[in-house]
Structure 1
Amino acid sequence: MKSQFNKKTIFVFQTKLMSLKKASLFILIILVIDQVSKIYIKTHFMLGEEVRVFDWFRILFVENDGMAWGAEIPGAYGKILLTSFRIIAIGLISYWLWDSVKKNSPKILIICQSLILAGAIGNIIDSVFYGVIFDSSLGQVATLFAEEPYGQLLKGKVVDMLYFPIYNGILPEWIPIWGGERFVFFEPVFNIADTAISTGFGLLLVFNKKAFPKK
């Protein structure tokens, strides 16, 4: 009886370990894609440079100095506070993922957690390190491991490049308030890490009942 219990315990432990390994590999793949794309853009594009792939999809190099949608925390230490908050958030999400694997949570929840964690780490790498390994992209193509970097540790800028102006035109006059004005959809420029985070949260909303089943 004791032998069977030990075998069952070992099997459960190995299953959880494999799930954690798969989640880690998934996170690593997203991180590699994210960082390779960002480093390529930084070392081949000047800030503001654009390549039109289709009318509705363009590669546009911009840098985000703050939070989502370009928001910023004011003050001399705003960037450091934001980066520190992101590091703490990564720690909490990592624990949440580990705890979910430990409790044999639904696979969809672990996938969503992995997506969110990968995206958060991808952007935090920019914030922590890019300021000390790249020089400025303004009016020039940046150099990796530059002798004169553009910033400081914890004060790097997040690289964005994916731009989908699916609609870019003048709104009809009959539309209240905004009628006759130029409107762009989708205007924000983002990156692979942002995509991973948005996808993770989106899947959590769509598959909420499967991710958090009632006991």
Structure 2
Amino acid sequence: MSLKKATILIVVILLIDQISKFYIKTNFALNEKLEVFSWFQIAFVENEGMAWGTKISDFVSFISDRTAKVCLTVFRVLAVFGIGYWLRKSIIDKSSRTLIFAISLILAGALGNIIDSVFYGIFFDSSLGQVATFLPEQGYDTLFHGKVVDMLHFPMWSGVLPNWIPFYGGSYFTFFDPVFNIADMAISTGIGILIFFNKRAFKTIDEKNEEVAFED
């Protein structure tokens, strides 16, 4: 995959992600839900931390939530530079299309969530009990303190688990409970490709040459 194609893929995913988030922020109040199907809902939530709402301060007690938020955002920015370098090097080295495609997905997703974390605090006012305004006189927070917008919820099954299931038997359970966004989907898909198609993604030069010779 060429740099041009990878860039187009990243831009398309980023646009879809940001347009969907902008729509949710300007049409839904926080925690508002819309049932599309019994197994799919649009559920507006905001994530202040990492995956599943985890915060750095949950593990490091001496760091305040706001300091932890800045640390997380800075880490995400640095990670994007690292992923971008990895993508560029993979294209220059003519790595497999599978690898370049996966890295492009991860980079697009990371960029999408970084925009929320860095800018949404000043781009929007609060969504609590109201629909947010874009570019208000005063945002809901400062630069680097924005919250990531999530809205995709797939509660495919919910009910009480059988008592014979260890630890969780008899408790109420929903599958799939987490709420996520397009950027999260891109990151998860990219990581999934690297895990499940590892051999195809990380082909050696000899393997690629053998494949080209076979095709010729």
- The answer to whether the superposition gives a TM-score over 0.5 is yes
Q: Which runs of 5+ in 2 are unaligned?
A: 58-63, 207-216
1:208 equivalent in structure 2: 198
2:94 equivalent in structure 1: 104
Matches within 5 A, 1:87-126: 87-126=77-116
1:35 equivalent in structure 2: 18
Q: Check conservation: 2:152, 2:180, Cα contact below 8 A.
A: yes
Find 2:41's aligned residue among 39, 54, 58: 58
Question: Structure 1 residue 51: deviation in Å?
Answer: 0.4
1:77 match: secondary structure = helix
Matches within 5 A, 1:183-198: 183-198=173-188
Question: Structure 1 residue 108: deviation in Å?
Answer: 0.4
Q: Kindly provide the CA deviation profile for residues 162-210 of structure 1, in whole angstroms up to 9, marking residues without a partner as x.
A: 0001111111122232221100111110000000000000011111001
Aligned residues: 198
173-182 vs 133-142, which moves further: 173-182
Distance (Å, rounded) in 2 between the aligned partners of 1:44 and 1:150 = 17
Distance (Å, rounded) in 2 between the aligned partners of 1:113 and 1:175 = 38
Distance (Å, rounded) in 2 between the aligned partners of 1:176 and 1:20 = 49
Distance (Å, rounded) in 1 between the aligned partners of 2:163 and 2:6 = 50
Question: Structure 1 residue 68: deviation in Å?
Answer: 0.6
Q: Check conservation: 2:76, 2:110, Cα contact below 8 A.
A: yes
Find 1:81's aligned residue among 58, 68, 71: 71
- Larger Cα Rg: Structure 1 or Structure 2? 1
Question: Structure 1 residue 44: deviation in Å?
Answer: 0.2
- Name the aligned partner's letter for residue 61 of structure 1: F
2:31 match: secondary structure = coil
CA RMSD in angstroms comes to 1.0
Q: Kindly provide the CA deviation profile for residues 3-43 of structure 1, in whole angstroms up to 9, marking residues without a partner as x.
A: xxxxxxxxxxxxxxx81011001000000000000000000
Q: Percent identity?
A: 60
Distance (Å, rounded) in 2 between the aligned partners of 1:171 and 1:209 = 38
- Name the aligned partner's letter for residue 213 of structure 1: K
Q: Which runs of 5+ in 1 are unaligned?
A: 1-17
TM-score (norm 1): 0.90
Find 1:71's aligned residue among 54, 59, 64: 54
Question: Structure 1 residue 73: deviation in Å?
Answer: 1.8
* 1:47 partnered with 2:30: yes
